[in-house]
Structure 1
């Protein structure tokens, strides 16, 4: 099972747009962002679509087309980004109900649900503490 990188790529895109706008540019293209992320612009456009639906970015069509932040980086948390790009719970239970006659099958889902709920609560709490401004500051402070 591979790890999901949508949150990381979304944070990367938002920090990049924020820095680009600080440098005096109004909008960034998905091609520019994709170059920084080293991925296909289609991947970036899909992700930015999720971020737009969450009110984190805006898009402009036509001449001067591109993406801009809908909010300041200071007012966006990683939790906002996570909720925009990661639908559903962090962990899933069985696809089919386990055997209720089996002692493990009977109790495994409630036991795992309690554990997963605690993990999800901790994750959300930690993500809510970090703004995209914090992320960009860490990025800019990193040694090259």
Structure 2
């Protein structure tokens, strides 16, 4: 039971695009950097392109950011790559036992804390930009 990795992978990809000035930022290059299959990268690239975060050009390998990294918040990236636009950070297990007093009430008891955690996380992500991430990485290069 792990939280989805689509968001950190998308940030990784966009940071690579921002920082990579020596060669085209292709799905193959990103896959090597992320350590995943290029198909996974291309699926995320499709979402990022539809959202207006990256641009590609026919006949030209690679892609580039569609707007400055300072204008792309981490919350925006998070929202783009979620499978469902309303997907919560946490979800409930599918079949709590309705005959158990805990199982019968766990969803209601946890709804507010998990909703508040989601809100806090998204508010925090709104305060960081792709440029912040790229600058942090650049300090270590």
What TM bracket, shorter-length normalisation?
A: 0.7 to 0.9
Residue of structure 2 equivalent to 1:65 = 61
Residue of structure 1 equivalent to 2:88 = 89
Root-mean-square deviation (CA), in Å? 2.1
Q: Identify which range, 68-77 or 106-115, moves more after superposition.
A: 106-115
Q: 108, 111, 124: which is aligned to 2:109? A: 111
Number of equivalences = 138
Structure 1: segments with no counterpart, 5+ residues:
none
- Shift in CA distance, 107/17, structure 1 to aligned 2, threshold 3 Å: same
Secondary structure in 2 matching 1:2: coil
1:40-68 deviation per Cα after TM superposition (whole angstroms, max 9, x unaligned): 2111111111111222112223x213222
Name the CA distance, whole Å, in 2 between partners of 1:97 and 1:32: 44
Aligned residue runs from structure 1 range 100-139, under 5 A: 103-139=101-137
1:106-131 deviation per Cα after TM superposition (whole angstroms, max 9, x unaligned): 43212111111011011101111110
* TM-score where L is the length of structure 1: 0.83
Residue of structure 1 equivalent to 2:34 = 37
- Shift in CA distance, 14/102, structure 1 to aligned 2, threshold 3 Å: same
Secondary structure in 1 matching 2:56: strand
Q: CA deviation at 1:24?
A: 7.2
Structure 2: segments with no counterpart, 5+ residues:
none
1:62-112 deviation per Cα after TM superposition (whole angstroms, max 9, x unaligned): x2132221111000011111111123111112434752x654344321211
Name the CA distance, whole Å, in 2 between partners of 1:49 and 1:115: 33
Residue 52, structure 1, aligned to residue 55, structure 2: no
